[in-house]
Amino acid sequence: MSYGENTRRLVALCDVLYGKVGDFLSWCRQENASGLDYQSCPTSEDCENNAVDSYWKSASMQYSRDSSGVINVMLNGSEPKGAYPTRGFFADFEIPYLQKDKVTRIEIWVMHDVGGPNVESCGEGSVKILEDRLEALGFQHSCINDYRASASMRRESASLHAIGDASLLISLLVALASSSQA
């Protein structure tokens, strides 16, 4: 069970209609016939604007436009490549589309694996890049290392989730973000 499912305090991208419709689906046009191909679609590396990535880019942009209030973002401070992927869906298709007049504050939670490495923390490396970017865009923001309220749930959930108040938030799509950093 994810943190969001347990607390019912967030609305992740996969929980809104345009996220639920495309969640876990892969599709593209068949090369030599009409209809859709659900088996062998090009990846981002093969075709930057493939059907699936184009759908999720649009969904991420709309999700950001719809987000309001306090936006909480959880980053993995134990990720060897850096906590904040400077290229990927969050950086490229969510942050630029947040509405300053609707977002009151962005809280960054940098969590570290229990017993794992402490690669980055607030004010360091890629987290500092994110903080500087939010400041340049005019967003009020704060950063907390190992936020205690989420630590017990994070131990129970191996996957990384964005965590939020009673407002919409930005969900980090770890698999997509990680693959775009490679």
Examine residue 53 and state whether it is found in any structural domain, yes or no.
yes
Is 182 a domain residue? no
Higher pLDDT, 89 or 7: 89
pTM: 0.69
Q: Provide the pLDDT for residue 149.
A: 58
Distance CA 29, CA 31 (A): 6
Residue 169 confidence class, pLDDT cut points 50, 70, 90:
very low
Identify whether 70 is part of a domain: yes
Q: What is the pLDDT of residue 171?
A: 37
Confidence of residue 161 (pLDDT cuts 50, 70, 90): very low
Q: Per-residue pLDDT averaged across 19-38, rounded?
A: 72
Which residue in this structure is represented by tokens 């005019």?
138
Instruction: Give me the number of domains the chain comprises.
Output: 1
* Residue 17: predicted pLDDT: 74
What's the pLDDT tens digit per position in 32-82? 778 777 777 777 777 777 777 888 888 889 989 999 999 989 999 999 999
The single-letter DSSP state of residue 71 is E
Position 178 in a domain: no
- 81 falls within a domain: yes
Nearest of 171, 138, 174 to residue 64 by alpha carbon: 171
| Domain hosting residue 56, numbered range | 2-162
How far apart are alpha carbons 95 and 86 in whole angstroms? 11
Q: Do the domain assignments include residue 107?
A: yes
User: Is residue 30 situated within a structural domain?
Assistant: yes
User: Does some domain include residue 172?
Assistant: no
Rg (CA), the chain: 17
User: What is the reported pLDDT for 97?
Assistant: 97
| E strands present in the chain | 28-29, 36-37, 69-76, 103-111, 141-145
> CATH no. for residue 67?
3.40.50.720
